[in-house]
Structure 1
Amino acid sequence: MEAQLEQIREQQKESWNKFSAGWKKWDGLTMNFLQPMGDAIVDHLNPRNGEVVLDVAAGTGEPGLTIAARLRGGRVVITDLADDMLVIARENAARRGITNIETRACDVSELPFADNYFDAISCRFGFMFFPDMTMAAAEIYRVLKPGGKVAAAVWGGPEKNFWVTAIMGAINRKLELSPPPSGAPGMFRCAKEGLMADLFSQAGFKNVAQQEVSGQLNCQTVDVYWDMMTEIAAPVVAGLSKADEATQAEIKAEVYQAVRHKYPQGDILIDSGALVISGEK
């Protein structure tokens, strides 16, 4: 891997480990939010008893744990770049009585598995952050058995994801931050129409399909929204760290105003839009 890509990977590993405590705190809310995308992935994979499944960039364990709970005589290997996130995944598995999983901290671009090893592979909201998506897709293809299925979720465009733009928009406006370079890791990196389908096809996958999936972030109050986003979202925390106390207060006030304007009744239930891309080897 090129030195620049290694640097991005190490920065991401440090960031995900740093925010693992926040993800543990908000796991119930975030997993409910992301469940429709995970369910769509599971539907595409349709895992069968006895299969061995890989869940890439699984964070606190989903959708790998849901898949494992459905399998009889099979198992799921749950991977992530950050060891501290996998600690939470193991805790979640133990709490739910799921024993047919193992965890492995590794980089998707250098998967420590043999060729043609897995029956199915899932990846929920990982591709946007992979330093080299082409390399990641090639590695996923390599370790998937012929005839095996893959399904991945990525975020749709900013116009469908107010839960991101409400806070990041305010930060970018107040601090006049430059947009990231084209193709750099980020929330909406994979939203361009056809990008992920082309990536999968170029990697060698066939029968590639794309599905739009919506979800809802049920914060209930704007305070919960603000607290959650400032405790789990690395770009938000990084942006706020560049602002002085007065500017941070202005950003917070702008976010509260935007959210309350959009949800005047006070029930903060924010829609989201994602894409689920599937294929076969």
Structure 2
Amino acid sequence: MQLELEQIRDQQKATWNKFSPGWRKWDDFTMNWLKPLGEEIIHALQLKPTDNVLDVAGGTGEPGLTIASIVKNGQVVITDLAEGMLEVARDHASKKGMTNIQTQVCDASELPFEDETFDAISCRLGFMYFPDMLQAAKEMARVLKPGGRIATAIWGTPDKNFWGTATMGVINKNMQLPAPPPGSPGLFRCSAPGFITNLFEQAGLKNITETEVRGKLPCGNNDTYWNFTNDVVAPVVAALSKADAATIDKIKQEVFRVVDEKCPDQKAALDYGAVIISGRK
């Protein structure tokens, strides 16, 4: 791996380990919100009870844990770059009494598995953070059995994801933030139509389909939305760490006004739009 990509990977590892306590705190909230994405991935994988499944960038455990409840006579390996995230996944598996779960810290671009090991591969909201997305897709194809399926979820375009743009939009109006280098990891890095489909095709996958999933981030009130983004949304935390108390308060009040304009019932149910892309080896 090139030095520049290694630096991005190491930065991602540090970031996700740093934020793993926040993800643990908000795990029930977040997993309920993202459940429709996992359900669509699982539907696309057409799982059998004996399947061996790889969940790449599985974070705190989903959709890998749900998949494990389906492949009762198979095995699920949940991987992530951050050990702190996988600790949460293992805790969940232990509480559920699951014995067909393993976890593995690894880079998606260098999967530590033999060729043609897995019947299916899931990857929910991981590709946008991989330093080398094409290499990651090729690695997944390598470890997938012939005829096996892969399904991933990515965020759609910013205009369909008010949950992610509301706070950052206000921050960018109030702070002079350096523009990230082109192609840097981020929420909407893969949002261009056909982006992941093109990667899958280059990785040798076929029968590729795309399905849009639309919904709401159900916060209930503005304070919950603000606290959530301040705990787990890395760009928000990084930006506000550079602001003084007065600026943060100004941004907070402006975010509340923006959210109220979109959600006049003051329940802060913010739009999201994701795309599920699946293919077969």
Give TM-score scaled by structure 1 length: 0.98
Contact 1:124 / 1:153 at 8 angstroms: preserved in 2? yes
Rounded Cα–Cα distance in structure 1 between residues aligned with 2:215 and 2:191: 16
Q: Deviations over 1:27-47 (max 9, x none)?
A: 111001101110000000011
Rounded Cα–Cα distance in structure 1 between residues aligned with 2:72 and 2:85: 26
Q: Deviations over 1:23-73 (max 9, x none)?
A: 011011100110111000000001101110000001000000000011121
Rounded Cα–Cα distance in structure 2 between residues aligned with 1:98 and 1:46: 21
Look up the SS of the partner of 1:213 in the other structure. Answer: strand
Rounded Cα–Cα distance in structure 2 between residues aligned with 1:158 and 1:136: 24
Contact 1:77 / 1:104 at 8 angstroms: preserved in 2? yes
- Answering whether residue 264 of structure 2 is matched by residue 264 of structure 1, we say yes
Contact 1:34 / 1:215 at 8 angstroms: preserved in 2? no
Contact 2:38 / 2:124 at 8 angstroms: preserved in 1? yes
2:25 is matched with: 25
Runs of 4 or more, structure 1, over 4 Å off, are: none
1:211 is matched with: 211
1:252 is matched with: 252
Contact 1:37 / 1:215 at 8 angstroms: preserved in 2? no
Q: Residues 121-270 of structure 1 correspond to what in structure 2 (within 5 A)? A: 121-270=121-270
- In the TM superposition, what is the alpha-carbon distance from 1:172 to its structure 2 partner? 1.4
Rounded Cα–Cα distance in structure 2 between residues aligned with 1:124 and 1:72: 21
- Give identity over the alignment, percent: 56
Q: Deviations over 1:214-247 (max 9, x none)?
A: 1321110100000011001111100111212221
Q: Residues 30-45 of structure 1 correspond to what in structure 2 (within 5 A)? A: 30-45=30-45
Rounded Cα–Cα distance in structure 2 between residues aligned with 1:192 and 1:228: 26
- Aligned residues between the structures: 281
1:96 is matched with: 96
Unmatched segments (≥5 aa) in structure 2: none
One-letter amino acid matched to 1:17 = N
Q: Deviations over 1:67-109 (max 9, x none)?
A: 0011121010000000010000011112222221000010001
Contact 2:52 / 2:71 at 8 angstroms: preserved in 1? no
Q: Which moved more, 1:263-272 or 1:19-28?
A: 263-272
Rounded Cα–Cα distance in structure 2 between residues aligned with 1:208 and 1:178: 37
Rounded Cα–Cα distance in structure 2 between residues aligned with 1:215 and 1:107: 30
- In the TM superposition, what is the alpha-carbon distance from 1:199 to its structure 2 partner? 0.7
Unmatched segments (≥5 aa) in structure 1: none
One-letter amino acid matched to 1:269 = A
Look up the SS of the partner of 2:152 in the other structure. Answer: strand
Q: Deviations over 1:183-209 (max 9, x none)?
A: 221100111011111110111000011
Look up the SS of the partner of 2:260 in the other structure. Answer: helix
Rounded Cα–Cα distance in structure 1 between residues aligned with 2:97 and 2:262: 41
Look up the SS of the partner of 1:108 in the other structure. Answer: coil
Q: Deviations over 1:127-172 (max 9, x none)?
A: 0010010111011111101100000000001111111101111111
- In the TM superposition, what is the alpha-carbon distance from 1:178 to its structure 2 partner? 4.0
Rounded Cα–Cα distance in structure 2 between residues aligned with 1:259 and 1:161: 13
Contact 1:37 / 1:124 at 8 angstroms: preserved in 2? yes
Look up the SS of the partner of 1:38 in the other structure. Answer: helix
Contact 1:229 / 1:236 at 8 angstroms: preserved in 2? yes
Give TM-score scaled by structure 2 length: 0.98
